[in-house]
């Protein structure tokens, strides 16, 4: 089977997962629930900031650079054939663009976080693959994400239906 560039890009996007939202929304909890279901590597922004990006502050420019670094790390995992989850605030369209194409899960569970500067800066995403509301457990939302990321094969619909499910954009 020949893989087209568009199909390859979609497959890569489905293996690079961004879990984003305000501080305290449950990003890390969801990443912890989802990772074993996908056998995924998890990059938590606080850990990356402490170990790799300790030179960065919290200005908008530094947040864009943090997002770029997070995206770059995730791209290395995907290039090696793995699945990766990045859990971080990613507060603006510019930070999301710097992170790069990904399957995006927006935790829209709270209206404000514990940091006023982040609350003021945060712009709800206009594009996302899954919006997580306040209802439901982390396990429920991990299973919802899994169903979108790894659709089950339906023998009755055949191979074409399975392939189409991977081409959703």
> What are the structural domain ranges in the chain?
16-166
Give 4's pLDDT tier (boundaries 50, 70, 90).
Answer: low
Quote the pLDDT of residue 165.
Answer: 46
* Distances in whole angstroms, Cα of residue 94 to Cα of each of 64, 72, 142, 152: 7, 15, 26, 34
Please write the tens of the pLDDT for every residue from 113-125.
888 888 899 999 9
Quote the pLDDT of residue 8.
Answer: 64
Give 21's pLDDT tier (boundaries 50, 70, 90).
Answer: very high
For the chain, how many residues are written? 169
* Distances in whole angstroms, Cα of residue 156 to Cα of each of 19, 149, 151: 33, 20, 14
What the block records as the tokens of 135 is 């209802």
Please write the tens of the pLDDT for every residue from 122-149.
999 999 999 999 999 999 999 999 999 9
Give 47's pLDDT tier (boundaries 50, 70, 90).
Answer: very high
Class of domain 16-166: alpha beta
Quote the pLDDT of residue 34.
Answer: 96
32 and 145 Cβ atoms separated by less than 8 Å: no
């Amino acid at each position: 089977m020949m893989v087209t560039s568009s199909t390859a890009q979609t497959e890569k996007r489905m293996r690079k997962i961004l879990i984003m939202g305000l501080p305290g929304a449950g990003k890390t909890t969801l990443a912890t629930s989802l990772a074993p279901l996908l056998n995924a590597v998890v990059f938590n922004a606080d850990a990356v900031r402490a170990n790799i990006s300790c030179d960065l502050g919290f200005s908008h420019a530094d947040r864009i650079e943090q997002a770029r670094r997070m995206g770059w790390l995730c791209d290395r995992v995907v290039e090696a054939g793995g699945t990766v989850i990045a859990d971080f605030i990613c507060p603006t369209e510019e930070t999301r663009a710097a992170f790069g194409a990904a399957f995006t899960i927006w935790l829209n569970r709270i209206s404000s976080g514990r940091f006023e500067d982040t609350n003021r800066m945060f712009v709800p995403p206009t594009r996302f693959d899954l919006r997580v509301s306040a209802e439901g457990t982390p396990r429920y939302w991990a299973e919802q994400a899994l169903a979108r990321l790894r659709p089950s094969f339906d023998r009755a619909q055949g191979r074409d239906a399975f392939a189409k499910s991977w081409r959703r954009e």
